[in-house]
Structure 1
Amino acid sequence: MRPLQVSTRPHDGHTLVRLCGELDIATAEDLRLRLSAARRSHGEHLVLDLADLEFMDSQGLSVLVHCYKAVTAAGGSFTLAAPRPIVRRTLEITGMHRRMTVVGSLEEALAGTAAPG
């Protein structure tokens, strides 16, 4: 098991959050706190880079859904970029890929060409 690593930085009016490792019940609360801090520091337009996220369970998904709802309620945007097949499958099984913006690459997310699904 690879522990979750989170890095955050501003990028052209967005908050770029990179997730590496495994997002599960053991790491979900830490991510929730880090996403809240990122929103306070950098604003309500989040791009989550999931290219190095190896696994996500229901607790991890719950954190993403909570953040998505908070960001969109505040008038912001929430984009998931480059999820691996196992993470994308979780999004598809739960139908979250139809509610959240999911794109194939970080470049696509940052270019603002992101479209739902």
Structure 2
Amino acid sequence: MQPLQVNARSHDGRTVVRLRGELDIANAEDLRQKLTTARQELGEQVVLDLTDLEFMDSHGLSVIIHCYKAATAAGGGLTLAAPRPIVRRTLEVTGLTMRMNVTDSLDEALAEPAGATP
């Protein structure tokens, strides 16, 4: 099991949060807190870079949904960038790809207008 690494930075008015490793019950609450802090410090237009996210369980989905609701309630948005096939499948099965913007790459996410929806 690879521990989750979280790196937040600002990029052209967006909060880009890179996730690396596995997102599950063991670290979901820690990520929820880090995303809240990143949104407060860097802004509500959030891009989650999922390029290096190897696994995500239902607790991880819950964190993403919470971030989406909080960001949109504050006038921002959430884009999920470059999920691996196993993570994308989880997003598709749960219907989140119909509600959230999901892109094939981080570059594509950053090229879209802030707050774009599916």
TM-score normalized with structure 2 length = 0.96
- Structure 1 counterpart of 2:59, which letter? Q
The offset of 1:115, in angstroms, is 5.2
Q: For the residues of structure 1 that align with 2:107 and 2:18, how far apart are their CA atoms?
A: 13
The offset of 1:77, in angstroms, is 1.2
- Structure 2 counterpart of 1:50, which letter? L
Matched-pair contact (CA < 8 Å) for 1:103–1:115: no
The offset of 1:36, in angstroms, is 0.3
Secondary structure of 2:112 counterpart: coil
Secondary structure of 1:15 counterpart: strand
Ranges in structure 1 where 5+ consecutive residues have no aligned partner? none
The offset of 1:37, in angstroms, is 0.3
Equivalent in the alignment of 1:92: 92
**RMSD of equivalent CA atoms:** 0.9
Equivalent in the alignment of 1:27: 27
TM-score normalized with structure 1 length = 0.96
Matched-pair contact (CA < 8 Å) for 1:50–1:81: yes
The offset of 1:103, in angstroms, is 0.4
Alignment pair present for 1:59 and 2:65: no
Ranges in structure 2 where 5+ consecutive residues have no aligned partner? none
How many residue pairs match? The answer is 116
Identity of aligned residues (%): 70
- Structure 2 counterpart of 1:83, which letter? P
Moved over 3 A (4+): none
Q: For the residues of structure 2 that align with 1:70 and 1:40, how far apart are their CA atoms?
A: 11
**After superposition, what is the alpha-carbon deviation per residue over 1:45-75, rounded to whole angstroms, capped at 9, x for unaligned?**
0000000000000000000001100101111
